[in-house]
Structure 1
């Protein structure tokens, strides 16, 4: 129980690092939560501050999730891929995503947790993460909708884990379903805009940058 509390607390603090808010305020004098979609995540940072800032925020947010779930393996006695380690990693991963969505250091008003969730998946199951990332990119490039790519990848996560890699860990299966649903729920406004044809588009290959 001590390990769960310890790593869960550390993971929450890691997740609470409000990358988009700090980068925006420190370098641009802008709080991204007051512009664009008013979301403290990588997508809104790309939209409001440009590619340079967006890449920094995206990278750090992914690292937060990956580090949170890899930390228990590197600093504890658990062997890789055992149920005990997976359960501890899941706890840390959930806490990291919660930290990103409700950051301690930014008034509990953060992002949607997509990039941090990707980091968590990378730490838990790299091959599943690679497939989900590939699906995200295909949908994003084809549609120019980041939200649609994120929703597709989130729905694919539990399906790929179960049907492609034949996962038998019940806790991991439940986590993958809950995480996928959570991403879809946090994108409910985006879904409404997609259905109405009002969702903002973003080009991955656009040359224009504000920086």
Structure 2
């Protein structure tokens, strides 16, 4: 029975992550499939680029919430007595990863989604709130200074394992290893963005507070 419950929760985490926020917002309110414009990704970065600040902010907020909600399902497993307290971090990571996989390969729209950075941020918020808030601060500062969502995402991801190394946090080895892994993965999934940044042709996000698109 426990295996069935765990399997069902893992599937639910994937389905939550699969909610194609960018696609649904773009089609319903703008008549645009963001996957057919810009970078072709169905994520917050491309939504900022194609639809502007308002739509991009909504998509980013919902995608962050997806990651947080799916990861937090592990607390239910603990509450139901399905997992032990020392397994909580492990299952949070498993469920969070499934949400990110769902965002990248969403079942609802032909398995063509985004890069999963916002959903990953939501996952990190549920796993380690303090470090996640520090990384969110890095993201926002870099975004405001450069207007590059891709650069902001990469630096925030790299900052995660670095912040975990601070003596005040004393992270579990599993969490630290995961932090290094996600930093590498985020950088690797942004190779095209890195090339465009180096060439000076990367698109900037529309984050002008006096202008909404």
**TM > 0.5:** yes
Size of the aligned set, in residue pairs, is 209
Between the aligned partners of 1:49 and 1:17, the Cα distance in structure 2 is: 19
- Which residue pairs with 2:106 in the alignment? 103
TM-score (norm 2): 0.90
- Give the deviation of 1:48 after TM superposition: 1.4
- Give the deviation of 1:209 after TM superposition: 2.0
Gaps of 5+ in 2: none
Which of 41, 45, 48 pairs up with 2:47?
45
Aligned ranges 1:1-211 → 2 under 5 Å: 2=3, 3-74=5-76, 76-77=78-79, 82-164=85-167, 165-167=169-171, 169-210=172-213
SS at match of 1:204: coil
SS at match of 2:166: helix
SS at match of 1:163: coil
**Greater alpha carbon shift after TM alignment, 196-205 vs 173-182:** 196-205
SS at match of 1:141: helix
Between the aligned partners of 2:12 and 2:174, the Cα distance in structure 1 is: 21
Gaps of 5+ in 1: none
TM-score (norm 1): 0.91
Between the aligned partners of 1:55 and 1:196, the Cα distance in structure 2 is: 27
- Give the deviation of 1:75 after TM superposition: 5.1
Encode CA deviations 1:23-52: one digit per residue, 9 max, x unaligned: 111222210000112110112112212222
Is the Cα–Cα contact under 8 Å of residues 141 and 203 in structure 1 kept in the other structure? no
Is the Cα–Cα contact under 8 Å of residues 49 and 203 in structure 2 kept in the other structure? no
